[in-house]
A = this chain, B = another copy of it.
């Protein structure tokens, strides 16, 4: 088992195609992907990531969605608990920002080895196809 979860939040991880995922790691990854598996949450993440400074407060997010305030809060919590978002209270407002290493980790896992996405140095040491062998 070469280098699966590594230090836990390292950006570069074995792509899916290197080796079959272990159950443990698949569980962790699935938790993150599941959080991304909702259009509202994807848009939230994108909104936050694309906001200037890489962060924004809930009051900047809410107006973009036709959803109740509790629902907004719920989705933010899901993203937070998946490790994709981080938040910090500053006075009355709570500011959210993305956790770049988490996104990077997922991106690396999905990279399809040589030539497709990761045709460069961003290719992790191991990929989807490597873990099993």
Contact = CB atoms under 8 A, between A and B. Distances in A.
Interface of A: 11-12, 15-21, 23, 26-27, 29-31, 33-43, 45-47, 49-51, 54, 64, 98, 100-101, 103-104, 106-108, 110-112, 116-122, 127-133
Query: How many copies make up the complex?
Result: 2
Given A33-B33, A107-B107, 7 more contacts: A17-B46, A31-B37, A33-B37, A46-B128, A50-B131, A120-B121, A120-B122
Contacts of A130: 50
A24 to B, nearest CB: 9
A43 B23 contact: yes
A42 B16 contact: yes
A98 B50 contact: no
12 contacts: A11-B116, A16-B45, A16-B50, A26-B43, A30-B37, A30-B41, A33-B34, A34-B36, A36-B36, A49-B129, A50-B131, A107-B117
A119 B121 contact: yes
A50 B116 contact: no
A31 B15 CA distance: 20
A130 B46 CA distance: 10
Nearest to A18: B50
